[in-house]
Amino acid sequence: MNILLEVLNKINAFLWGAPSMILLVGTGLFLTFALKGLQFTKLWYAFKLAFTPDKEDSEAEGDVSNFKALMTSLAGMIGNGNIAGIATAITLGGPGALFWMWVVGLIGMSTKYAEAVLAQIYRVKNPNGEYSSGPMYYIERGLGKKWKPLAIGFAFFAGIAALGTGNAVQSNTIADVMDNSFHVTGWVTGVLLVILTGLIIFGGIKRISNVAGVFVPVLAILYIAGSMLILILNFDQIIPAFGLIFHHAFTPVSAAGGFTGFVVTQAIQHGVSKGIFSNEAGMGTVAMIAGNAKTSHPAKQGLVAMTGTFIVTIIVCSMTGLVLVITGFWDPSGGLLSGVEHNANLDGGALTSAAFGAVLGVIGEYIVSISVVFFGFSTIIAWYVYGSKSFEYLFGVKYVGIYGVLFLAATYIGSVADLKLVWAFADMANALMIIPNLIGLLLLYKVVKQQTENYFANPIEKEQLQKNA
């Protein structure tokens, strides 16, 4: 097993190395220029579409509202990557990693937009009467049958990633927190997760989206409120924190004592990789829920979908990052906030929890613990959508129930097992999802551009945009 793990780690080091980072960021930059910086010029309008009910959309074809589709997508994105992942990025790359996370998030918004637009255009209705969509559909239907092997490859790796990264890894993290913070043993947590997950996922996309529509806003508000309280209590350190972030995005962090310091390349590498992991831009996951949305035009759902990346990266990840920088927990030798004791052995979610606890006491630690548990659970149910859509594409809708059973088994196993090998397999599957999806996006960008120009050329939309300018 150790040999297999070592081999997988080497494969992942290559797959998640410079070539894939360049491909991901390059695709985002290309789409940003092709769409004329739409994620910047139409951002306010996109938020209005996301959070304002539209009668025209409610009467359109689809399974759920575009708001619930966004919440389901956010359920998959706002997970432990935003708590543990950001802590890892900053402790391995310094405060400057947060700057590069912002950059990749803003660029990735155009990628998310394109994924959602193509999901709407190439979606299909399955025998159960629900819509199915995703990169596998726009690759096969948009590029032609000869590209089907690429579509199959995406679906296969997405199904594996859903069992691993989207499920077992999340249940493992939840079990650890439940044990450490609430003294609930792993097998009990596993049984509870299996029951709750089963009750939700077997209710179909509408039940999943209804749960996400309640869970995600409440959890996000709780976590952001805790972060904001820490920032308010230390408001005089906010500007110095931003100063550190911008400074170390381009300048190495010097070593001091036992602290090894960071070089700029580490800030870029960890900021970009953890940014992509947290917002999923380029992975194609948003396309597997965006096709279920009721919307009068594909471009509208694209605009709604891209707000998710902004919410996750620019808001939620920034809250975690600023708290870590202000409290100094990114640096074992000390930080901006004096009088705080540091523990150099902490990392990931434990480090974030300690940073919250240093300012808010046990309440801060519980905010992080509760967030980890419920963010992780919301991620599990969202990734079931992605995995089941992939399984449906590969084997047909009548066999999706089998995937549901496998999914629940992975939920329980994750809560009681050592998952180093699962982590490695899941990381590889995540990387191998990205390649076919980005190929599809690049080859179909003209379709996205045409739909975008068609939508904004509409006189009614022009008038609406002018009102919101």
Per-residue pLDDT of 198-213, as tens digits, reads 999 998 888 999 888 8
CATH of residue 375: 1.20.1740
| Assigned domain for 14 exists | no
- Which long-range contacts link 195-199 to residues 24+ away (Cβ below 8 Å)? 196/377, 197/377, 197/380, 197/381, 197/384, 197/407, 197/408, 197/411, 198/404, 198/408
pTM beyond 0.85: yes
Per-residue pLDDT band at 332 (split at 50, 70, 90):
low
Per-residue pLDDT of 292-311, as tens digits, reads 999 999 999 999 999 999 99
Residue 440 and residue 135 in contact, taking contact as beta carbons nearer than 8 Å: yes
Per-residue pLDDT band at 343 (split at 50, 70, 90):
low
Which domain range does residue 382 map to? Answer: 19-464
Say how far apart CA 265 and CA 251 lie, in whole Å: 10
DSSP one-letter code for 236: G
pLDDT value of residue 461: 55
Paired strand residues for 293: 64
pLDDT value of residue 257: 44
For residue 204, give the H/E element and its range. Answer: helix 204-233
| Assigned domain for 9 exists | no
Average pLDDT over residues 244-255: 79
Per-residue pLDDT of 86-126, as tens digits, reads 877 887 788 888 998 898 899 999 999 999 999 999 999 99
**CA 466: distance to chain centroid?**
32
Does the pLDDT value for residue 352 go beyond 90? no
DSSP-derived secondary structure for 85-152:
HHHHHHHHH-THHHHHHHHHHHHHHHHHHHHHHHHHHT-EE-TTS-EE-SHHHHHHHHH-GGGHHHHH
* C-alpha to C-alpha distances, 148 to 64, 161, 211, 398, 439, nearest whole angstrom: 28, 20, 34, 21, 13
Per-residue pLDDT band at 1 (split at 50, 70, 90):
low
Q: Which of 95, 465, 397, 434 is nearest to 245 (CA)?
A: 95
Say how far apart CA 293 and CA 450 lie, in whole Å: 20
The residue behind tokens 């079931």 is 384
| Assigned domain for 8 exists | no
pLDDT value of residue 432: 87
Per-residue pLDDT band at 462 (split at 50, 70, 90):
low
Per-residue pLDDT of 225-243, as tens digits, reads 999 999 999 999 999 999 9
Say how far apart CA 447 and CA 298 lie, in whole Å: 11
| Assigned domain for 3 exists | no
Per-residue pLDDT band at 255 (split at 50, 70, 90):
low
Residue 49 and residue 300 in contact, taking contact as beta carbons nearer than 8 Å: yes
| Assigned domain for 6 exists | no
% of the chain at pLDDT higher than 90: 43
Paired strand residues for 65: 294
Domain count, the chain: 1
Amino acid code (one letter) for 61: E
Residue 328 and residue 337 in contact, taking contact as beta carbons nearer than 8 Å: yes
Mean pLDDT score of the chain, rounded to an integer?
A: 85
pLDDT value of residue 341: 54
| Assigned domain for 11 exists | no
Per-residue pLDDT band at 468 (split at 50, 70, 90):
low
Say how far apart CA 134 and CA 91 lie, in whole Å: 35
Does the pLDDT value for residue 188 go beyond 90? yes
Per-residue pLDDT of 382-425, as tens digits, reads 999 999 999 999 999 989 999 999 999 999 998 988 767 777 77
| Assigned domain for 4 exists | no
Per-residue pLDDT of 163-174, as tens digits, reads 988 898 889 888
Give the torsion sign (CA, 105, 111, 113, 119): negative
| Assigned domain for 357 exists | yes
pLDDT value of residue 338: 46
Q: Which two tokens stand for residue 175?
A: 């079990």
